[in-house]
Amino acid sequence: MQYGGKIIAGLVIFLGLVSLPFWFNMGGTYEQPKVELPKNAKECVAPKEEMRTSHMQLLDEWRDMALREGKRTYISANGKEYTISLQNTCMECHTSKEQFCDKCHTDAGVTPYCWDCHVPPKEAK
Partner 1 sequence: MKQSRRNFLKFAGLSAAGLCLAPTAAALASGGGGHGKAHAVVNANSKHAKRWAMVIDTRKLNTDEAINALAEVCHHIHNVPTIPGKQDIKWLWEGTYSETFPNQTNNFPSEELEKRKFPLLCNHCETPSCVRVCPTKATFKRADGIVAMDYHRCIGCRYCMAACPFGARSFNFMDPRLHLDMEKINVKFPTRMRGVVEKCNFCVERLAVGEMPACVEKSSGAMTFGDLQDPDSNVRKVLRENFTIRRNPAAGTEPGVYYII
State yes or no: residue 51 binds partner 1 (CB under 8 A).
Answer: no
CB 105 within 8 A of CB 111: yes
Instruction: Report how many residues bind partner 1 under the rule CB under 8 A.
Output: 33
DSSP 8-state code for residue 66: H
Q: CA dihedral defined by 37, 112, 115, 35, rounded to 10 degrees?
A: 10
State yes or no: residue 56 binds partner 1 (CB under 8 A).
Answer: no
State yes or no: residue 76 binds partner 1 (CB under 8 A).
Answer: yes
| Residue from 4, 21, 70, 109 binding partner 1 (CB under 8 A) | 70
- Which stretches of 9-51 are assigned E, i.e. beta strand? none
Q: Contact positions toward partner 1, by CB under 8 A? A: 45-46, 61-63, 65-79, 83-84, 87-88, 113, 116-119, 121, 123-125
